[in-house]
Structure 1
Amino acid sequence: MRILHTSDWHIGRSFHGHPTLDALEGVLGELTRIVREQSVDVVIVAGDIFDSATPSADAYGVLTRVLTELRDTGAVIVATSGNHDSAARLGFQSEFARLAGIHVLTRDETLDVPVTVDDDHGPVHIYGIPYLEPALIRHRHPGEILRTQADAVRFAMRRIRADLAERGGRSVVVSHCFAQGVADAASDDLRDITSGGIDLVPMSVFDGVDYAALGHIHGRARLSDSVRYSGAPLHYSFSEAGKPRGAWLVELDATGLASVDWVDLPIPRRLSILTGTLDDLLTDDAYTDAEDDWVSAVLTDTVRPLDAMRKLQRRFPHCATMVHEPSVVADHGTRTYAQRVQGKSDIDVIDEFLAYVRNGEGASAAESEIIRDAVAEVRSAETSA
């Protein structure tokens, strides 16, 4: 049996204010082509199908078209809800979707009810663990201690193992969680992870199944041969620049996991982080290849340039972010600003202020002339008052 493991589609997500619906639909269209060419039997989406609990009509339209095209290949689809999804909205009419071979698993009451798909070697039981918020489910399971994500996923896996022991056969678990061992794969886009380790799920929780298809991390990650994250199909953060986009192609044979191979998805627009002075970024031929990329510019000018973003976007139309990080930072010592200007003239006080806020660079000759004229005008006005 061939299974394509994907996750974190985040339909409806914007990239620094720019819509991504068209780009995502194009990438998922390529995913459909892979499913057809590779004769995939099951497509898994491990949570965060939408980016919002209240998706737009356009986002629903993309999902409908993509699922229809995937189902037309003959593949069974198994999807779970993530922390960005509304389980209730995503699971609405899931019973009808199931009749069409699209299984949307969002309820904690049915954790131990698998989607069973048969091949020449017998059944494969696919169990879905939606994102489990302990505070929202503990009242339905009063006999369980459900304080953390680890508690919730352990609880789910106990039920799954008990059911699997009775059914027998091969098994796959789909879970949306933050498992230990993926710190290097995390990005600044993971907005809902609690600090201090409270929401970390030990990888050992997934022992006993042939494959664990995880979601929540936006970069691919291999925790073990049988426990993996596929990452998101699009780049949603500049921290993901240079990281591949794709899915895991999982093959099960008669005894269990046979192989796992990575399949690449196209990247509609690359991400580039460019560092240098504004003049360098605007004129250096070394940056020509990045002119059509999403660009995050890090300006190293001593003084923050005026109107820098507009100038950058003339060369890089898709420049999305800009930060000023001077390559040289003035050392003002231990004296306070008041101590440094004590006893100085008004003109010297202004020059000292400019040097303080501009990393040691005081007034230029032209600025000094303007300052002298302004101070003289103020003194003249005060004298005549």
Structure 2
Amino acid sequence: MKILHTSDWHIGKQLHKYDLSEDLDLFFDWLVHYIQTENIDVLLVSGDIFDQANPSQAAYKQYYDVLKQLINFDCKIILTGGNHDSASVLNAPQELLKAFDITVIGGATDEVGELFIEVEKEGEKIVVAAVPFLKDRDIRKSVAGETYATKIEQIKSGLQSYFANINAFYQQNYPDHTFILMGHLYVQGSELSESERDIQIGNQAGVEAHMFEGIPQYVALGHIHKPQIISDTQNIYYCGSPIPLSFSEREDRKQINVITIKEGKIDQLEIVPIPKYRNLVAFEGNLEEVESKLTGYSEETRLMSLAEVIVNEDSESLERRQAFEGFVNSQPNDNIEIVKSRLNFKSKIRGATDAFAVGTDVTDVTPVQMFEKKLELQSGLDNTGELKNAFREILQELGL
């Protein structure tokens, strides 16, 4: 039996206002072809199906278009909700999708047993515990007046207890099945990029890999966009996002993981690279250096390359500002588009309007970054750490 692990599709994602739907279309075309030609039996998508809790109509269409193509094959599809997803949005067509052998679990269920899906093919029997992103209320009870440190420990303890119950349910009910566990969470030691949204209070309540107790034969994780092995002995993997979602991911080699089950054990675990359809590039230096690098860029890919430019100048001047703006808006190379730009001055007079560098678009700044900059401009505050944590809690409660 062949199982394909992918995650973090983020349908509807824009990179600094640039629509990435074409990137996903090409990935989906490749994925559908791979599933067909390689006779994949089970497709696992570990959370963050959509980029927003309330997807656009275009995002919905892209989602249903790929599912429509996949139902033509004898492939069981299991999708779980991530921290970007709305459980109710994902669950809305749940019953209809069941008719096409597609199981969707958008959020935590009332009973642990509802998360377990059995699959039997080619003489192999597996059971998948499709655990979605677990919200605070799913794993602990809040108490009035509790400290921040107490809350962190309770979240960690709650996650450990939840997954211990998952393991116990498997051992009691499916001991003769190969056990695959899906999860969407932050495991300590994993490497972040710029595009993951903080979960469980700024990822500070991340759990350790030993929490899974070595019981699942494979742990298919989502949330972290950089592909990585958390534990090769326990087969705990983040497969990562299928396309780069931030400039910090421009060097990542995107992949899917394919697990072959034979005689109740993992016979092979193959890392399959995803074709690269677009380059993300970054240029930094003074204005003349950046302009020279960008105009000299000649590498072509199927989709237009996207650029981040960072211009560093010695002294602030109106002339330099105007030259920078003119350069950014001039589209100096037909093979590349500038979607993110920043102008820095080494010496300048700081004021209230200088919280971010020249050229920074407010839509490129996260709420946490904006709040942190605001704190920097305030003098005499000695509890900034507590304020940042409280702000993160508010964002988490609001689902932002």
Q: 1:75 to 1:322 in 2, by over 3 A?
A: same
Question: May I ask how many residue pairs the two structures share in their alignment?
Answer: 325
1:222 pairs, out of 213, 229, 243, with 229
Q: How does 1:250-261 map to 2 (within 5 A)?
A: 250-261=259-270
Cα distance in 2 for partners of 1:202, 1:187 equals: 19
Give the stretch that moved more between structures: 152-161 or 20-29: 152-161
Equivalent residue number for residue 27 of structure 1: 27
Aligned to 2:70: 70
User: Cα offset for 1:130?
Assistant: 0.8
Please name the residue that 1:130 is paired with. Answer: 132
For the pair 1:324 / 2:343, whether they are aligned, the reply is: yes
Number of the residue aligned with 1:299: 311
1:213 aligns with 2:220: yes
CA distance in 1, matches of 2:204, 2:289: 45
Query: Paired residue for 2:170, among 138, 141, 164?
Result: 164
The equivalent position to 1:181 in structure 2, one of 189, 192, 198, is 189
Tell which structure's C-alpha radius of gyration is larger: 1
Tell me how far 1:307 sits from its aligned partner: 4.2
Contact 1:273–1:296 (Cα < 8 Å) also in 2: yes
TM-score by length of 2: 0.75
Helix, strand or coil at the partner of 1:302: strand
Task: Look up the equivalent residue of 1:201 and give its one-letter code.
Answer: V
**Contact between 1:108 and 1:137, CA under 8 Å: does it hold in 2?**
no
Rounded to whole Å, the distance in 1 between the matches of 2:289 and 2:203 is 43
Q: What are structure 2's unaligned runs of at least 5 residues?
A: 142-150, 351-400
Aligned 1:1-385 pairs, distance under 5 A: 1-106=1-106, 107-113=108-114, 114-136=116-138, 138=140, 148-165=154-171, 166-168=173-175, 169-182=177-190, 185-194=191-200, 198-206=204-212, 207-225=214-232, 226-284=235-293, 287-289=296-298, 292-303=304-315, 304-312=320-328, 313-316=330-333, 317-325=336-344, 329=346
1:362 matched residue in structure 2: none
Write the letter of the residue equivalent to 2:22.
D
Q: Distance in 2 between matches of 1:112 and 1:28?
A: 31
Q: Scaled by the length of structure 1, what TM-score is found?
A: 0.77
CA distance in 1, matches of 2:288, 2:152: 56
Distance 1:97 1:195, change over 3 A: closer
Change over 3 Å in CA distance of 1:104–1:110 after alignment to 2: farther
Residue identity in the other structure for 2:281: S
Per-residue deviation, 1:179: 0.6
3-state SS of paired residue (1:288): coil
Identity level (%): 26
Q: Secondary structure at the match of 1:178?
A: coil
Rounded to whole Å, the distance in 2 between the matches of 1:197 and 1:8 is 17
Q: Which runs of 5+ in 1 are unaligned?
A: 140-144, 338-385
CA RMSD of aligned residues (A): 2.6
**Cα deviation 1:9-43 (Å, max 9, x = unaligned):** 11111110111123212211111111112111111
Q: 1:136 to 1:277 in 2, by over 3 A?
A: same
* Runs of 4+ with >6 A deviation: none
CA distance in 1, matches of 2:200, 2:122: 44
